[in-house]
Structure 1
């Protein structure tokens, strides 16, 4: 069964697949640009990691304890493509993705804890990890660039639980959770507004065949940046 997240990934990799779809500006002069095809590859690899290594399936709940970041966006898209439920509040979840995988996280009520290193060029977690914690950066690259589902997702299942506790199903993801935008925006998204806002804004831009420039709070949004990225109406 096709759900909006699957249809969105199909559109991103097939329509203008070489054009920028997600651009990240981070600290220390980080700039990461993902075309539609590359974005889809990252999402496919992450979906395969979740499904094949972490035993995730439609309905599995993933808590994202992460800031707005290009990697947290990838994880969200992968979870939705698989038919999982994204948890953005402190409700119970089966899996945890976090940038702070200390002993408290490892001892929480999760089947799996996944450590996500945020530096753009990180190939693995810097330093040691508690026993049983999965290193996202080290593991994801070994997985395939094409995602093949083991089970059909269902449009009636929850896709996201917001910080306020509001739930949206997979069928409602692009028409209930996503923000509304005009056709084809090159959208500035400020990471300082939080992960939930970044996800809603990004989904809305992609639904309208647009692209996203996600900017870390420590990065100054200058006129040079806006002009260089062709952002209008910010």
Structure 2
């Protein structure tokens, strides 16, 4: 299979967030492809236009429904999911200092995440497991004074509770319940904030025609013409942005390739990642 591209050329790559959103809006080709975990692996594909639309609606939502200080960090605590990727794009366009943390899988990981949150003192935590931050578990102590926003996993979710069966605190922001009410146009022009540059292999995959594959767990492998990254850290966000700026797709594989080798191989075949 020929690797997917968004079209365009590296010479025309945007250098700031408004230009990147304009590029995405103009592209009907796939920009973000997500593979869910589990036996019945779900696949969701977002064109550049749809990704831009989600980002614009999220920008409107966050601009009107959050009251964080301009310099306050934002912590995104979520699995590798297309909604989390759209959130990262919107947060970057707003100029937020965003830290990405993959969900804790063990007690030690949870304590490390609490330590991270305590050190950051975030103004906002965006998470796909709000109960962990508001319940009686170890992570609740890391919420501090931060606002909380909940990400549900479905494409057509009317609310977090409808999707998961879990009720949110009245003070928490339900992204799925609120985002569709916001317009498809930006509420105000965005500042021309520069895109962060990826420092590791930023050009190698795009130059060869591939894109970026992101996994939730570490894996040692070689992907011809594609870059591979783990879902964590500021460097990943920069790589995602540069991939879209170079008109290439980002593929999110939420499962563990080592635990799901057949699903991993099927994804590689589906997307022409070889």
TM-score range, shorter chain: 0.7 to 0.9
Q: Specify whether residues 200 and 109 from structure 1 end up closer, same or farther in structure 2 by C-alpha distance, changes over 3 A only.
A: same
In structure 2, distance between residues paired with 1:118 and 1:106 = 25
8 Å Cα contact 2:198/2:239 also seen in 1: no
TM-score by length of 2: 0.67
1:22 equivalent in structure 2: 32
Matched, 1:145 2:145: no
Name structure 1 gaps, 5 residues minimum.
Answer: 156-170
Q: Name the one with the larger strand percent.
A: 1
Matched, 1:135 2:159: no
The CA deviation at 1:139 is: 1.2
Listed one character per residue, the Cα deviations across residues 68-126 of structure 1 (whole Å, up to 9, x for unaligned) are: 22111111100111121113343111111112213254983234211111245533212
Matched, 1:13 2:25: yes
Match of 1:215 among 250, 253, 260: 253
Match of 1:70 among 79, 82, 99: 82
Q: Specify whether residues 60 and 177 from structure 1 end up closer, same or farther in structure 2 by C-alpha distance, changes over 3 A only.
A: farther
2:45 equivalent in structure 1: 33
Name structure 2 gaps, 5 residues minimum.
Answer: 1-13, 101-115, 218-229
In structure 2, distance between residues paired with 1:148 and 1:178 = 35
Q: Which moved more, 1:83-92 or 1:97-106?
A: 97-106
8 Å Cα contact 2:79/2:254 also seen in 1: no
8 Å Cα contact 1:61/1:95 also seen in 2: yes
Q: Specify whether residues 41 and 58 from structure 1 end up closer, same or farther in structure 2 by C-alpha distance, changes over 3 A only.
A: farther
Q: Specify whether residues 195 and 122 from structure 1 end up closer, same or farther in structure 2 by C-alpha distance, changes over 3 A only.
A: farther
- Cα-Cα RMSD: 2.8
8 Å Cα contact 2:197/2:242 also seen in 1: yes
The CA deviation at 1:208 is: 2.0
1:185 equivalent in structure 2: 210
Q: Which moved more, 1:31-40 or 1:203-212?
A: 203-212
TM-score by length of 1: 0.77
Q: Which moved more, 1:106-115 or 1:91-100?
A: 106-115
2:149 equivalent in structure 1: 114
8 Å Cα contact 1:178/1:200 also seen in 2: no
The CA deviation at 1:4 is: 1.9
8 Å Cα contact 2:197/2:239 also seen in 1: no
Q: Larger radius of gyration, structure 1 or 2?
A: 2
Matched, 1:84 2:109: no
Q: Specify whether residues 61 and 153 from structure 1 end up closer, same or farther in structure 2 by C-alpha distance, changes over 3 A only.
A: farther
Match of 2:231 among 181, 194, 197: 194
